[in-house]
Chain A
Amino acid sequence: MSTIYDIVVAGGGHAGIEAALAAARLGLKTALVTLRKDTIGKMSCNPAIGGLAKGHLVREIDALGGEMAKIIDATGIHFKMLNRSKGPAVWSPRAQADRLAYMKEAQRRVLSQPGLTVIEGSVNGLVVKQGRVAAAVLEDGSVIPCRALILSAGTFLNGRIHIGLSNFESGRAGEKAVKGLTEQLRALGFETGRLKTGTPPRIHRDSIDYSKVIEQVPDNPPTPFSFQTEKIDRPQLSCYITYTTAETHEYLRAGLDRSPLYTGVIKAVGPRYCPSIEDKIVRFADKGRHQIFLEPEGFDNPEVYVNGFSTSLPEDVQLAALRSVPGLERAHIIRLGYAVEYDFFPSFQLKHTLETKLVENLYFAGQINGTSGYEEAAAQGLIAGINAVLKLLDREPLVLDRSEAYIAVLIDDLINKTILEPYRMFTSRAEFRLLLRQDNADLRLMEKGYRIGLLPEPVYERMLRKREQIRELERYLQDHSLSPERFNPLAERMGSAPIRVSTPLRQLVKRPEIRLSDLLALMEDAAAFPREVVAQVEFSTKYEGYLKRQQDLVEKFRRMENRVLPEDLDYDRVPSLSAESREKLKQIRPRSLGQASRISGVRHSDIAVLMVYLEKYHRDRDYVSRETVS
């Protein structure tokens, strides 16, 4: 009889790492099953963490006590805060990683984690007893008994790689696919679909003519991802920008007859926000050039990632097209670009805890839920890991709502929206964007991370101090004024109107051209407030009106979320629902009217019908109980 694990995590990618570490740290006996130990934490595509909206996810993972931010802080070679020219709500950190170092750091953390066993192999099946997970079955037939199973298999399920018209089974370049698991899950009643994603060629850094490309320098000093990282002192590298030419487009166009995309060999849908280069020249034929980022993959790694040039065209076309790009005339390809098709499970089959509705204690996380991106995967891994533990310990689940975190937007969208292409996070998906900033992820989520038991107490206490200081500073601005003599010189310097009477600081900060730090510098008795405290207060004061309107929308949202739909609600008995809405509602079984209103395919008018029915349902119950009393 082999050991019984509390939790088995299948897949050692970014989702698997978070899930396994969270489970083990919360004290449960955990096993991570991965094909090879030395590919744990591999960055299969872009060698970067973060980016617009994705950076928010990483900060949230960190605030809950997850790992990703710390790994990238330890291994980043090019940090940049994106969108600095916009408002603080959409600033987002991004960093190029030293790809090998990232992988090694992730492995170090996983392999040194007490209570976490790493097993080399692949989960090709599972044992379900009485509707509940009982064991994971490996390819070699061995059975690992477990109480919960988290599936984070990435692109490996029936993965098929395409380069030109040739294709072969593979989960990732050079690695074998996982077969049989999808089939078994389908037999258990799961619905599956196919998605496609792609990756560009990697070229040798010494084969680039750097005189013809534009250098992009990293931020100095770099801003860390983790609230726990004091400072980043690794040496940094530059990225480079170049553009495709008319000649490039000709080569690509000439190769279309051997494109698996355009000859119908690939049937699955790829992401619209990350189209292949051949897709770009076809769909946007009148665009004369496309931007390409050349991203180094590390100090000891000569590979350069050709961002913007994802392709599944044959080798000769890839090379010819690439070499027509300024700076890449003598490019040497180390690895070819390719497209990969894989199985995914539409997430309407999941609860908000990421547990499947069909099989108890079975969780899905990451790309198999139809997402793309390391950050999206890691966020799901963390949530699945935490909830698997909480459930086994009979504790309240962790379910965030859309006004609390991007992570919640991600999961809620996955469950309610019909996934037709790999899902990527965007700030525009977050309707409460002004509240969900990367700079306040700690204030939003650390309390939860701490209560769950993942976030160390000192970190939590530091956040509490920050919160207290924010209140102090707010009070200070309310209670203190500046006289015209003191303020007007600053006003003149900043092109702001002079004041005639002593004016509260709170009012002065509201002027767009006046910085809070400058005002505080004029005060003799002002205590020194940390920069991040000043930034929080400055934002909440300057944008007070907008935040108020945003808050109104949150209230409206909450009211709908609080209209809970009874678990025993029989949609077949609700009159007047349209057939499509009825089908979707039965499939997803939303928790609330609010959720129901976000389901793709549920008509607006049907929400009203549901509202009516719900009210009737409740009043009938009250009515019955009143009748019984009297």
Chain B
Amino acid sequence: MKYIEKDTIVALATPLGRGAIAVVRLSGQDSLAIVNRLLVRKIGKADVRRAVFSDLIAADSGELIDQVVVTYFQAPASYTGEDVVEISCHCNPLIIDRIISQAVQQGARVAEPGEFTFRAFLNHKLDLSQAEAVAEVIDARTSQSLKQSLHHLEGRLSEKIAAIKNELLDCLSLLEISLDFSEEDLEIIPPEQLRERLTRVVNRIQSFLKTYAYGRLLENGARLLIIGKPNVGKSSLLNLLLGKERAIVSDLPGTTRDYIEAGMQLDGIYIQAVDTAGVRQTRDQVESMGIQRTLELLKTADVALAMFEGHRALDADDQEMLRIIQAHCKETPFVLVVNKADLGVREEALEPLRALELPLVTLSVKEERGLDALKAAIRKALIQEDVGDSEEVVITSARHRAVLEAVVEALGNALQSLQQGAPEEVVALDVRVALDRLGEITGETTPEDVLRHIFSNFCIGK
């Protein structure tokens, strides 16, 4: 319903796949101003249609997000006919996410699918013969949730939403009965019971919302980082995980100077595994830059494997590792990997690791032992929430998540009203708001639906 607004929109313009670069596009009169607030090298009028290389930073903290190439198209000579800025960044879902959310913080709005094309159409960038096609795109889009979920999830998502809607409709009609049919000889639902039912709906939606993280993993994949001191076996572990020789393996510490990436599948989740330079105190400039890079990568990782050796006590490099883990384990899930189990595992090696209270797996890369346990630990670290029985239906769309969050908020208001003993019609207001929002996924709920529900379930009538 936002198609008519004239604000600035932002979205990923390239497909969400694996590739070298991705393009984030903004369109609207504030595009340039918004992007300039994120760029170290500002874009001016002289830069129209020129590719400009710049660091892209977080506007608030100044923290580097990525190095990007920016192209500015001035209205009306652009795809949409408005001011358009295209940011080519590295194709990493986390980088893309951060750029988009920075743009949103600066006043852009996440575009509805098809909205760039739609604006192009409105601004006569597409000829009239294409009008019908565009309208069809939009048409398909607005009923998208139903159609798409039918497609992708064989209807289970819509079933699930429909069930939530039905339960809310049920609760609402019970409220409405007490308001519109209070003169009838009907049993009125006690507030306590209504509260229970609404709470159940909220819980259901919330556990459903938790699948979003998992859904995103399915959709975007995850980034796995392997860190550890030099020669602890990071590259060998990566190779083992990949099932092929990918990283350069040698006995010389520091073989992996920067980092090496490779893609793999784990239980249906695409994992971008990153083998990093070894962590140690060093004066070698190239190597310390590599370590610095590792620390940056940690911030965008979905899971980090911290490798140690089990056959001897921790050394100074390992202590450095412990400091890094302690500094980052709040934001990044860690799995401690104790390698070289083939050489024996000593208690004094394990004890300081156990003290971290993080998941710990003992294995031997050389003997290819303990891999299943590691995979299970990775999976658990990625999917922190218990996805439970909703495992088969997950939310992958940010739009659905936003709608469901709004529904939860409205129901929270309704529950609070019930708690305070507020009259039914104000409780009903928020249940209606919830249904109204839910309608953005499933289609509108009208007062007619509520009455139909009442008449089909209750004997009304003087």
Number of A-B pairs, beta carbon distance below 8 Å: 154
Q: How far is the CB of B3 from chain A (nearest CB, A)?
A: 6
B450 touching A428, Cβ below 8 Å: yes
A283 on interface, CB distance cutoff 8 Å: yes
A512 on interface, CB distance cutoff 8 Å: yes
A291 touching B179, Cβ below 8 Å: no
A 572-625 contacts with B by CB, 8 A: 574-576, 597-598, 600, 603-606, 608-609, 611-613, 615-616, 619, 623
Q: How far is the CB of A229 from chain B (nearest CB, A)?
A: 24
B135 touching A575, Cβ below 8 Å: yes
Q: Indicate whether A549 sits within 8 Å of B433 (C-beta atoms), given known contacts A433-B425, A608-B138.
A: yes
Residues of chain A contacted by B132 (CB below 8 angstroms): 575-576
A87 on interface, CB distance cutoff 8 Å: yes
B17 on interface, CB distance cutoff 8 Å: no
| Cα of A205 to Cα of B1 in the assembled complex, Å | 60
Q: How far is the CB of A365 from chain B (nearest CB, A)?
A: 23
Residues of chain A contacted by B444 (CB below 8 angstroms): 597, 604
| Cα of A571 to Cα of B420 in the assembled complex, Å | 50
Q: Indicate whether A87 sits within 8 Å of B136 (C-beta atoms), given known contacts A615-B4, A615-B122.
A: no
Per-position 1/0 for B169-206, Cβ under 8 A of A:
00000001011111111000000000000000000000
B 431-451 contacts with A by CB, 8 A: 432-433, 436, 439, 443-444, 446-448, 450-451
Residues of chain A contacted by B424 (CB below 8 angstroms): 86-87, 90
B135 touching A434, Cβ below 8 Å: no
B121 touching A608, Cβ below 8 Å: no
Q: How many residues of A contact B (CB 8 A)?
A: 62
B461 touching A274, Cβ below 8 Å: yes
| Cα of A293 to Cα of B461 in the assembled complex, Å | 11
| Cα of A543 to Cα of B136 in the assembled complex, Å | 44
B124 touching A82, Cβ below 8 Å: no
Q: Indicate whether A275 sits within 8 Å of B138 (C-beta atoms), given known contacts A86-B182, A86-B424, A616-B121.
A: no
| Cα of A308 to Cα of B461 in the assembled complex, Å | 6
Task: Closest B residue to A409 by CB, please name it.
Answer: B447
B459 touching A609, Cβ below 8 Å: no
Chain B interface mostly: helix
Q: How far is the CB of B160 from chain A (nearest CB, A)?
A: 19
A431 touching B447, Cβ below 8 Å: yes
B426 touching A546, Cβ below 8 Å: yes
A611 touching B461, Cβ below 8 Å: no
| Cα of A90 to Cα of B428 in the assembled complex, Å | 12
Q: Indicate whether A605 sits within 8 Å of B143 (C-beta atoms), given known contacts A575-B132, A597-B444, A612-B118.
A: yes
| Cα of A553 to Cα of B1 in the assembled complex, Å | 15
B82 on interface, CB distance cutoff 8 Å: no
Task: Closest B residue to A613 by CB, please name it.
Answer: B135
B179 touching A427, Cβ below 8 Å: yes
Residues of chain A contacted by B425 (CB below 8 angstroms): 86-87, 89-90, 427, 433-434
Residues of chain B contacted by A430 (CB below 8 angstroms): 447
B179 touching A280, Cβ below 8 Å: no
A52 touching B179, Cβ below 8 Å: yes
B163 on interface, CB distance cutoff 8 Å: no
A 278-293 contacts with B by CB, 8 A: 279-280, 283-284, 287, 289-291, 293
Q: How far is the CB of A418 from chain B (nearest CB, A)?
A: 9
Task: Closest B residue to A620 by CB, please name it.
Answer: B124
Q: How far is the CB of B210 from chain A (nearest CB, A)?
A: 27
A428 touching B124, Cβ below 8 Å: no
Task: Closest A residue to B450 by CB, please name it.
Answer: A428
Task: Closest B residue to A308 by CB, please name it.
Answer: B462
Q: How far is the CB of B186 from chain A (nearest CB, A)?
A: 9
Beyond the given A86-B423, A283-B459, could you list 9 further A-B residue pairs with CB under 8 A, ordered by the A residue number? A53-B180, A86-B424, A272-B461, A290-B459, A428-B176, A429-B447, A604-B443, A608-B3, A623-B124
6 A-B pairs with CB atoms under 8 Å apart are A291-B462, A427-B425, A429-B451, A575-B132, A576-B136, A619-B123
| Minimum-distance CB pairs A-B, first 7 | A87-B423, A291-B185, A284-B459, A575-B132, A608-B142, A605-B143, A576-B135
